[in-house]
């Protein structure tokens, strides 16, 4: 048996720069990567050397990826990232020490790899979680006979930080949709003593997953977050504000069905139920799969998949409406849909509107419009 | 000596799967397959707008990322007798075809290959000899000595760095690995190449569905309009991109995936005589020429094959109460009629009822319920679904290309036709059907172009879009061939809302537990067929056969409730 096991690793002495050179990656190629990374993170060109220097000095940080109540869509999305690519990520940037879908070892050997990574990198490894955690019964989801709750707690204990990938890990997601049969909750409802970054989306955009990782690897810090834990760099703007179809909304030109003049000419999908106005994500700017397209560009209204409880927002094809009262979650999702937008907007003062916007609550486009804000 | 070998988690699959094997000496005597995660998606669907469940159901699985979306909209369309335009049929075929090709290649290289390919052995390869090997298989342009030298250098740097990441703790050096170093280096190189290839070809879904994973669908057609004079619809530029992706798919399948599967298989012919299991095969049929209402136009026919008898294809009826039934005798659910009843999906009922050991646990009680998966049966028979079932169905129904490909494969490997019924046969069948589907993609694309040329650009039928136009009560079944096999969703619509929603999915057929009569599921039967473990601590033999099915366990676990009543009654814990 070849004696290559997690236990027999060389001491943590090889830096990323050395590793890259030994892999035949040129300095020029490396800097090009850093420039792409900096641009992805909206950093000025002057920061490229900082990114390069930080990446070069780093030993590949250990990453443990736990999958709970999930569909593997988030992992699939990770593999679709064009920059950083998955092969570059796992060969050059991180040591992905535990990941069900990708790792070679199974069973006891897989669990031993997780335990070794936790032991060798205690306090330093990054924990990534996809999927929600069922609290209804420990038997609802187990790995190696261990409940998700126990495995999360055990693995989070020595983590430097946690990234909750996908709406299920970030906010409960699909399993949490009414009536939440298994008592599914998000990571942040269980772990309260660690920094957590939420990277929601169903799944998140591929380059957003790797972009957040690269931020952590480069700066050793977690990025600035919004009020519900999402990195501002990717979730700071709503899709409606950045949508290339916005001008048609402004002119009152809407697709009424999926194959009418408006659909063919690329008019606004608001009337078909688009949730772009209340959805904070980078789809309209970053787009999907190497900038190929994004849902609205391919003719389908935005589902709102990076928002908490988007599954319960009242129907994907119901025209977006708005809350009629205060912005409690229950009201927002329950009462909002079907309310008359005009009446509601009349009831809504500017301060409440701003409050709602800052908390990313549901506000109608009409309302945003009348306030003169973009 | 009798001993229980437990493998949990089974990695390099979708979802949470646990295998327990009872050993008799070094031989597997019996095996049990357990799905260890449940979410309750079908409960969540109760009472919702029937135009919405495709998105929920799609999240059953993000690997076969579009199949549940497609099955769902077909179920609604079947219930409402909702016709869709020809172009929508073709675009859905292209999207599902692309899903099969993408999924099968990723399965082979990223989920299955490491059962046969020793990454560490690749370090001993001679790049020049590797190039000669690769060039003997195909004219793939990257097969140069320099390319393989670079790959070897990259791999060596990685291993020497001491941080093996996803390759840590695996069974490298196990005597079950038979490939020469050069074949290992070739396959590892293609492991990396396939990662790059897959994210490019996934863009076909992005063009038509806006994103991948989880592209968008719509009941009544497809969401993307066609307009050659628009900058925001399927136009000449988009169509050119699609053509380019189809060509990329065909080239990789022909020049890399197909020849490499056969080359690797030639070193593992002992796996052509184990891992069969049931000998019963089921397909629902798919890739329609004229829409789902005309099964005679399906490229892959539906039907059942029993006891390896390729001379008789049994008709199946998705709506017959006594054909497709689900059992929960060994599942963590309750039936009102008792644990041993079998229920057709329209009459299905399920109540979560976890009676397994309290976590953390060491071993399941396999005489009791032991899985979140149910046991589907066709006329009481346990059936295997998937690529092997489809290739056998195509073969049995006289599909010319399939007969040629199967004949070529058997001849090249110098194995008898019985070799199809095995772990190796299952893996080879997946590759062969990828070739068949990749070729068919061009035909669907050409038909789409011909329609557009003739002035037919319709992609959506708005007639039944508004729920107010629907009958008060309707029910239907949406079926398809997903990469892992026959998939169907059943929906009951009442007063514009979902009254009942159920899915019977490929990995439930294959990975489900024993039924009321003690009949094992396909995984369980396959593992009991001629498996010896060289080292129970490194059960690579179990992984080979389980991975040959390409498990998708999030798919396989689902729960239903016809009445919308309280569903959860937790007895244990």
Give the chain B residue nearest A288 (alpha carbons).
B211
- Inspect the interface and report whether the beta carbons of A139 and B6 lie closer than 8 Å: no
- Kindly report the number of other CB atoms within 10 A of residue A340's CB atom: 11
Each domain of chain A, given as residue ranges in start order, spans 61-202, 239-370
Q: Rounded to the nearest 5 degrees, what angle is found at the Cα of B388, between the Cα atoms of B387 and B391?
A: 85
Q: Is B64 designated active site? A: yes
Residue of B nearest to A260 (CA): B225
Q: CB distance A110–B56 less than 8 Å?
A: no
Domain at A239-370: CATH code:
4.10.480.10
Inter-chain touch B230–A264, beta carbons under 8 Å: yes
Assign A128 to helix, strand or coil.
Answer: strand
Q: How many Å is the Cα radius of gyration of chain B?
A: 23
Provide the shortest C-alpha distance from residue A290 to chain B (in Å): 8
- Looking at residue B381, its pLDDT comes to 98
Do B541 and B533 contact (CB within 8 A), yes or no? Answer: yes
Q: What share of chain B is helix, strand, coil (3-state, %, to 5)?
A: 45, 15, 40
Q: Could you say which residues of chain A have pLDDT below 70? A: 1-30, 33-34, 36-44, 50-58, 322-374
**B241 touches B207 (CB < 8 A):** yes
Do B154 and A116 make contact, defined as CB atoms within 8 angstroms?
no
* CB contacts, 8 Å: B6 with chain A: 107-108
Q: Which two tokens stand for residue B85?
A: 């335009």
Sole residue written with tokens 């530029």:
B237
CA B389 to CA B248: how far, in whole Å?
27
> In the numeric block, which tokens belong to residue B10?
């089974």
A-chain residues near B114 (CB < 8 A): 104
B555 is catalytic: yes
B454 contacts: CB under 8 Å, gap ≥ 6? none
Taking Cα atoms as reference points, which of B104, B117, B146, B83 lies closest to residue B429?
B104
Task: Choose, out of A85, A293, A311, the residue to mutate when testing the contact with B (most B CBs < 10 Å).
Answer: A293
Q: Which positions in chain A touch B205 (Cβ < 8 Å)?
A: 289
| pLDDT of res. A95 | 96
What is the Cα–Cα distance from A114 to B81, expressed in whole angstroms?
A: 52
In this predicted structure, what is the pLDDT of residue B307?
A: 98
Q: Which chain A residues contact residue B166 at CB under 8 A?
A: 90, 96-97, 99, 102-104
Domains defined for chain B, CATH in brackets: 1-74+276-421+466-573 (1.10.645.10), 83-167+180-271+440-462 (1.10.645.10)
CB-defined contacts A:B, below 8 A: 369
Structure tokens at B563: 């009445």
Residue B367: how many CB atoms within 10 A of its CB? 8
Residue A342 pLDDT: 28
Annotated active-site residue B534? The verdict is no
For B499, what's the count of Cα atoms within 13 Å in the CB-facing half-sphere? Answer: 17
Contact flag B570-A298 (C-beta cutoff 8 Å): no
Q: Which two structure tokens, joined as six digits, stand for A120?
A: 């060798």
Each residue's pLDDT tens digit in chain B (573 positions)?
469 999 999 999 999 999 999 999 999 999 999 999 999 888 899 999 999 999 999 999 999 899 999 999 999 999 999 999 999 999 999 999 999 999 999 999 999 999 999 999 999 999 999 999 999 999 999 999 999 999 999 999 999 999 999 999 999 999 999 999 999 999 999 999 999 999 999 999 999 999 999 999 999 999 999 999 999 999 999 999 999 999 999 999 999 999 999 999 999 999 999 999 999 999 999 999 999 999 999 999 999 999 999 999 999 999 999 999 999 999 999 999 999 999 999 887 768 899 999 999 999 999 999 999 999 999 999 999 999 999 999 999 999 999 999 999 999 999 999 999 999 999 999 999 999 999 999 999 999 999 999 999 999 999 999 999 999 999 999 999 999 999 999 999 999 999 999 999 999 999 999 999 999 999 999 999 999 999 999 999 999 999 999 999 877 775 433 343 333 333 332
Task: Check residue B534 and give its pLDDT.
Answer: 97
C-alpha span between B190 and B431 (Å, rounded): 15
The Cα of B557 is separated from the nearest Cα of chain A by a number of Å equal to: 11
Q: Quick check: A311 and B203 CB within 8 A? A: no
**Hey, which bits of A31-179 come out as E strands?**
62-67, 95-98, 125-130, 133-134, 142-143, 146-147, 159-165
Burial of A14 by CB count in 10 Å (0-12 exposed, 13-18 middle, 19+ buried)?
middle
Closest Cβ opposite residue A300 in set B7, B213, B223: B223
* Cα(A88)–Cα(A90) distance, integer angstroms: 6
Interface test with A, best of B124, B188, B213, B533 (most A CBs within 10 A): B213
Contact A104 B40 (CB under 8 A): no
User: Which residue of B8, B169, B188, B331 to mutate against A (max A Cβ within 10 Å)?
Assistant: B169
pLDDT of B554 reads: 78
What pLDDT does residue A326 have?
Answer: 32
CATH label, A61-202, candidates 3.40.50.720, 3.40.50.300, 3.30.360.10, 3.40.50.700: 3.40.50.700
**Chain Cα centroid distance, residue A355:** 24
Chain B positions in Cβ-Cβ contact with residue A19 (cut-off 8 Å): 157-158, 161
Determine which helix (DSSP H) or strand (DSSP E) holds B393, and give its type and residue range.
Answer: helix B387-396
Q: Do B221 and A74 touch (CB under 8 A)?
A: no
**Residues A73, B62: C-beta atoms closer than 8 Å:** yes
Place of tokens 């009424």: A256
Structure tokens at B456: 């037919």
Mutate to test the interface with A, among B31, B46, B50, B62 (most CBs of A within 10 A): B62
Closest CA to B410 of B423, B401, B402, B419: B419
Query: Active-site residue B224, yes or no?
Result: no
Contact between chains at A142 and B37 (C-beta distance less than 8 A): yes
Count of beta carbons in the 10 Å neighbourhood of residue B313: 19
Q: Active-site residue among B68, B102, B330, B430? A: B68
Nearest to B359 among A2, A11, A150 (CB): A150
- Which among B7, B40, B225 has the least Cβ separation from residue A264? B225
In B161-257, alpha helices (H):
181-201, 203-209, 236-252
Cβ contact, residue pair A140, B37, below 8 Å: yes
Q: Which chain A residues are closer than 8 Å to B208 by Cβ?
A: 298
Active-site hit among B484, B489, B514, B558: B484
* Nearest chain B alpha carbon to A300: B223
């Amino acid at each position: 048996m070849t004696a290559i096991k997690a236990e027999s690793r060389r001491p943590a002495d090889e830096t990323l720069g050395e590793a890259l050179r030994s892999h035949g990656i040129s300095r020029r190629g490396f800097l090009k990567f850093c420039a792409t990374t900096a641009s992805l993170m909206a950093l000025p060109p002057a920061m490229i050397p900082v990114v390069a220097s930080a990446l070069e000095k780093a030993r590949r940080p250990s990453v443990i990826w736990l999958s709970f109540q999930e569909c593997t869509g988030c992992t699939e999305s990770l593999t679709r990232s064009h920059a950083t690519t998955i092969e570059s990520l796992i060969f050059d940037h991180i040591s992905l020490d535990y990941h069900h879908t990708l790792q070679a070892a199974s069973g006891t050997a897989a669990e031993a790899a997780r335990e070794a990574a936790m032991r060798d990198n205690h306090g330093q490894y990054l924990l990534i979680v996809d999927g929600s955690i069922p609290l209804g019964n420990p038997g609802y989801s187990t790995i190696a006979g261990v409940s998700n709750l126990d495995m999360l707690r055990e693995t989070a204990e020595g983590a430097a930080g946690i990234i909750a990938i996908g709406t299920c890990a970030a906010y409960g997601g699909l399993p949490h949709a009414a009536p939440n049969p298994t008592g599914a909750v998000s990571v942040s409802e269980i772990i309260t003593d660690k920094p957590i970054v939420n990277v929601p989306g169903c799944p998140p955009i591929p380059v957003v997953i790797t972009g957040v990782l690269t931020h952590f690897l480069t700066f050793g810090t977690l990025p600035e977050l919004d009020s519900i834990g999402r990195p501002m760099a990717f979730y700071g703007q709503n899709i409606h504000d950045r949508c290339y179809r916005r001008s048609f909304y402004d002119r009152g030109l809407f697709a009424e069905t999926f194959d009418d003049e408006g659909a063919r000419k690329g008019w606004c999908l608001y009337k078909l139920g688009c949730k772009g106005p209340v959805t904070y994500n980078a789809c309209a700017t970053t787009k999907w799969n190497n900038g190929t397209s994004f849902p609205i560009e391919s003719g389908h209204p935005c589902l709102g998949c990076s928002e908490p409880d988007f599954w319960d927002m009242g129907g994907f094809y119901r025209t977006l409406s708005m809350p009629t009262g205060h912005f409690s979650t229950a009201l927002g999702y329950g009462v909002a849909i079907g309310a008359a937008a005009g009446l509601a907007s009349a009831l809504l003062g500017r301060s409440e509107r701003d409050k709602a916007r800052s908390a990313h609550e549901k506000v109608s486009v009409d309302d945003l419009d009348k306030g003169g804000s973009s | 000596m009798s001993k229980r070998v437990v493998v949990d988690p089974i990695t390099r699959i979708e979802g949470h799967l646990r295998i327990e094997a009872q050993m008799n000496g070094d031989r597997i005597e019996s095996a049990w397959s357990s799905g260890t995660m449940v979410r309750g998606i079908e409960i969540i669907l109760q009472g919702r707008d029937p135009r919405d469940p495709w998105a929920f159901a799609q999240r059953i699985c993000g690997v076969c990322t579009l199949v549940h979306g497609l099955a769902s909209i077909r179920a609604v369309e079947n219930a409402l007798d909702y016709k869709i335009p020809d172009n929508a049929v073709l675009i859905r075929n292209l999207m599902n075809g692309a899903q099969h090709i993408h999924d099968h290649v990723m399965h082979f290289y990223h989920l299955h290959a490491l059962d046969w390919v020793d990454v560490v052995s690749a370090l001993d390869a001679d790049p020049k000899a590797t190039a000669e090997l690769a060039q003997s298989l195909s004219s793939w342009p990257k097969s140069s000595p320099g390319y393989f030298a670079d790959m070897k250098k990259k791999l060596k740097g990685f291993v020497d760095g001491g941080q093996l990441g996803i390759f840590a703790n695996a069974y490298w050096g196990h005597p079950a690995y038979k490939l020469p170093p050069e074949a290992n280096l070739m396959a590892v190189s293609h492991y990396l190449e396939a990662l790059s290839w897959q994210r490019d070809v996934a863009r076909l879904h992005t063009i038509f569905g806006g994103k991948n994973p989880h592209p968008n669908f719509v009941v009544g057609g497809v969401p993307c309009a066609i307009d050659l004079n628009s900058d925001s619809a399927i136009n000449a530029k988009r169509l050119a991109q699609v053509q380019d992706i189809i060509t990329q798919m065909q080239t990789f399948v022909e020049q890399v995936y197909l020849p490499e599967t056969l080359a690797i298989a030639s070193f593992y012919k002992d796996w052509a005589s184990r891992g069969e299991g049931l000998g019963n095969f089921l397909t629902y049929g798919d890739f329609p020429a004229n829409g789902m209402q005309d099964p005679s136009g399906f490229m892959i026919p539906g039907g059942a094959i029993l006891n390896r008898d390729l001379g008789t294809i049994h008709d199946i009826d998705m709506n017959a109460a006594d054909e497709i039934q689900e059992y929960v005798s060994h599942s963590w659910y309750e039936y009102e009629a008792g644990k041993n009843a079998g229920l057709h999906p329209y009459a299905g009922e399920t109540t979560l009822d976890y009676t397994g050991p309290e976590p953390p646990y060491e071993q399941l009680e396999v005489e009791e319920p032991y899985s979140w998966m149910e046991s589907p049966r066709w006329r009481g028979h346990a059936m295997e679904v998937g690529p092997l079932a489809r290739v056998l169905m195509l073969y049995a129904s006289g599909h010319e290309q399939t007969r040629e490909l199967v004949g070529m494969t058997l001849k090249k490997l110098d194995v008898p036709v019985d070799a199809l019924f095995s772990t190796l046969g299952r893996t080879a069948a997946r590759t062969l059907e990828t070739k068949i589907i990749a070729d068919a993609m061009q035909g669907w694309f050409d038909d789409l172009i011909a329609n557009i040329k003739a002035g037919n650009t319709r992609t959506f039928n708005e007639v039944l879009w508004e729920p107010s136009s629907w009958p008060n009560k309707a029910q239907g079944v949406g079926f398809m061939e997903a990469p892992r096999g026959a998939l169907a969703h059943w929906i009951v619509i009442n007063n514009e809302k979902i009254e009942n929603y159920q899915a019977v999915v490929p990995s439930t057929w294959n990975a489900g537990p024993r039924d009321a009569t003690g009949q094992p599921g396909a995984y369980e039967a396959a593992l009991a067929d001629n498996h010896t473990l060289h080292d129970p601590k490194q059960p690579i033999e179990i992984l080979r056969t389980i991975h040959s099915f390409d498990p998708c366990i999030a798919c396989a676990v689902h729960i239903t409730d016809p009445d919308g009543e309280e569903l959860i009654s937790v007895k244990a814990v």
